[in-house]
């Protein structure tokens, strides 16, 4: 069963039960009040009749008195203590005369059923002319009340049925309205499955309810799936493209080794060196490709307050020791606190410093500090620089300004792409400024927690 049909069915059933319960309470309350009112009225009439009969008893024949106060639809009778009675019955209720009389020692008021019909029955004591105590009993038909209640039942049943018509119609409309986003999502997912395209839902309305949030979540999920799919496709394409060259070199040199390696020591050393170099480059490239293939939410960042100045200085010293390159530090010596991931920031600095090392033979300048509420790092080299028309492309994967030199020094064109992704994950703005033939400045800007 469809969700809209379930909503329609459950809503209609709920309203139907609610209407039936309310109408039942109305009927029960009205019925109770009607019967109670009939009993009270009959008792009041009986007491008035008993007073009149007591005052006229002995002056007017008993039969005439009973006939005078006989109810229109019922019976009046006098019952003595030996359960013998004398009664007068209306023409419409002659069967009441067959009812066995019963004496009561006190007043009695009840609703009885006799011959398939309902009656009110009241009994009150009276004093006969001979001084004996007897009962004056009055039995009146409740047919009029029963008829009213019968009509009330019919009206309530008809009203319930008519009330259910708009309820069913409105619940059907409500079901379609509620499930419309779900139906749209289902159609969109079917289209995605059939076409293979990543489609989005059109967000409508301003209610921001759960269905709207579900649609937003669906669109966000599609964004993630499309992004991951594109990363997967790009990874496969990049890996197959970039690994082709080192694999070809390794294959060529290994073939030379098989044919002439044992006979020519110089060729053997050259081949081993080339294979080793390409293997290292393949490993580094694979690691960078795997990092680039990650989604920003998968970086597992450990953000905490960090002494920015100390981190930059220690990274600079480690770089100097690793590559034997001179670094010129420019800073005012003030400690700066930032909220960041230490390891990822170190990795980002190493990428920028390594890029400067590869394309410059002169000392590298590392400048850092604060400007207003922003902390900054500038990595400045005096290398080959980047042509103005190519500056916007340097963050593209596998892009190299000087392809021949990059290949010679082992560049893969992935460093700046990875740096951009790390900076994005850390919330850092990364910029490049360059003049071709004069050098390049890579800048990082992010908010400082405090400056002292």
Q: Are strands 327-330 and 364-371 parallel, antiparallel or unpaired?
A: parallel
By mean pLDDT, which of 145-159, 388-402, 412-426 is the weakest?
A: 388-402
C-alpha span between 91 and 95 (Å, rounded): 9
Question: Where does the pLDDT of residue 294 fall: very low under 50, low under 70, confident under 90, or very high at 90 and above?
Answer: low
Tell whether the torsion through CA atoms of 116, 121, 127 and 129 is positive or negative. negative
Last residue of a domain, one of 259, 277, 293: 293
Q: What is the pLDDT of residue 75?
A: 93
* pLDDT at 206 exceeding the cut of 90: no
Check: pTM over 0.75? Answer yes or no: no
* pLDDT at 367 exceeding the cut of 50: yes
46 and 137 co-located in one domain: yes
**163 lies in some domain:** no
Mean pLDDT comparison of 35-49, 221-235, 381-395, highest-scoring range: 35-49
Residues 6+ apart with CB under 8 A from 180: none
Go through 244-253 and write b for each residue having 16 or more CB atoms within 10 A of its CB, e for each that does not.
eebeebbeeb
Q: Which residues on neighbouring strands pair with residue 123, listed in sequence order?
A: 108, 137
Q: What is the pLDDT of residue 233?
A: 74
**281 lies in some domain:** yes
Which of 371, 382, 386 lies closest to 327, judged by CA? 382
271 and 241 co-located in one domain: yes
Other beta carbons within 10 Å of 415: 20
276 and 367 co-located in one domain: no
Domain that holds residue 275: 210-293
**176 lies in some domain:** no
By mean pLDDT, which of 45-49, 87-91, 136-140, 420-424 is the weakest?
A: 420-424
* pLDDT at 29 exceeding the cut of 90: yes
By mean pLDDT, which of 12-26, 31-45, 61-75, 220-234 is the weakest?
A: 220-234
32 and 79 co-located in one domain: yes
370 and 268 co-located in one domain: no
The percent of residues above 90 in pLDDT, for the chain, comes to 20
Q: What is the pLDDT of residue 148?
A: 92
Sheet of 133-141, strands arranged across: 85-89, 74-79, 133-141, 117-127, 108-114
Last residue of a domain, one of 149, 183, 198: 149
* pLDDT at 448 exceeding the cut of 70: no
Give residue-wise pLDDT tens across range 300-319: 678 888 888 888 888 888 88
Which of 271, 280, 265 lies closest to 251, judged by CA? 271
Mean pLDDT of 80-109: 90
* pLDDT at 145 exceeding the cut of 50: yes
Number of structural domains, the chain?
A: 3
C-alpha span between 43 and 45 (Å, rounded): 5
Sheet of 336-340, strands arranged across: 304-307, 336-340, 450-451
Question: Where does the pLDDT of residue 392 fall: very low under 50, low under 70, confident under 90, or very high at 90 and above?
Answer: confident
Q: What is the pLDDT of residue 438?
A: 87
**287 lies in some domain:** yes
Mean pLDDT of the chain: 81
Q: Which residue carries 């009441």 as its tokens?
A: 96
């Amino acid at each position: 069963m469809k969700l809209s049909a379930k909503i329609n069915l459950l809503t209609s059933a709920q309203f139907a039960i609610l209407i039936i319960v309310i109408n039942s309470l109305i009927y029960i309350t009205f019925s109770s009040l009607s019967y109670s009112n009939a009993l009270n009225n009959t008792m009041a009439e009986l007491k008035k009749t008993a007073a009149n009969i007591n005052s006229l008893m002995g002056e007017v024949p008993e039969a005439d008195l009973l006939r005078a106060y006989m109810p229109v639809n019922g019976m009046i009778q006098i019952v003595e203590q030996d359960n013998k009675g004398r009664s007068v019955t209306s023409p419409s209720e002659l069967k009441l005369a067959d009812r066995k009389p019963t004496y009561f020692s006190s007043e009695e008021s009840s609703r009885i059923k006799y011959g398939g019909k309902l009656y009110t029955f009241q009994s009150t004591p009276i004093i006969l002319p001979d001084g004996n105590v007897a009962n004056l009993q009055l039995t009146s038909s409740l047919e009029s009340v029963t008829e009213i209640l019968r009509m009330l039942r019919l009206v309530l049943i008809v009203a319930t049925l008519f009330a259910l018509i708009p309820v069913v119609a409105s619940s059907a409309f409500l079901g379609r309205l509620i499930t419309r986003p779900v139906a749209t999502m289902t159609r969109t997912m079917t289209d995605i499955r059939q076409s293979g395209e990543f489609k989005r839902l059109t967000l409508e309305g301003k209610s921001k309810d759960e269905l709207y949030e579900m649609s937003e979540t669906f669109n966000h999920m599609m964004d993630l799936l499309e992004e991951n799919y594109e990363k997967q496709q790009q990874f496969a394409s990049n890996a197959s493209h970039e690994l082709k060259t080192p694999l070809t070199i390794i294959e060529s040199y290994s073939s030379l080794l098989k044919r002439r390696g044992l006979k020519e020591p110089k060729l053997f050393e050259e081949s081993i060196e080339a294979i080793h170099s390409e293997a290292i480059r393949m490993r580094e490239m694979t690691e960078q490709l795997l990092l680039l293939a990650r989604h920003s939410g998968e970086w597992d960042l450990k953000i905490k307050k960090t002494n920015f100045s100390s981190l930059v200085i220690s990274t600079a010293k480690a770089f100097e020791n690793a590559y034997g390159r001179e670094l010129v530090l420019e800073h005012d010596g003030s400690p700066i606190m930032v909220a960041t991931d230490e390891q990822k920031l170190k990795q980002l600095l190493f990428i920028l410093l390594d890029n400067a090392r590869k394309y410059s033979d002169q000392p590298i300048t590392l400048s850092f500090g604060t400007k207003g509420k922003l902390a900054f790092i500038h990595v400045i080299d005096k290398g080959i620089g980047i042509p103005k028309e190519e500056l916007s492309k340097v963050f593209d994967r596998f892009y190299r300004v000087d392809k021949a030199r990059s290949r010679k020094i082992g560049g893969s064109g992935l460093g700046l792409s990875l740096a951009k992704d790390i900076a994005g994950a850390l919330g850092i703005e990364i910029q490049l400024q360059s003049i071709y033939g004069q050098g390049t400045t890579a800048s990082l800007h992010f908010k400082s927690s405090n400056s002292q």
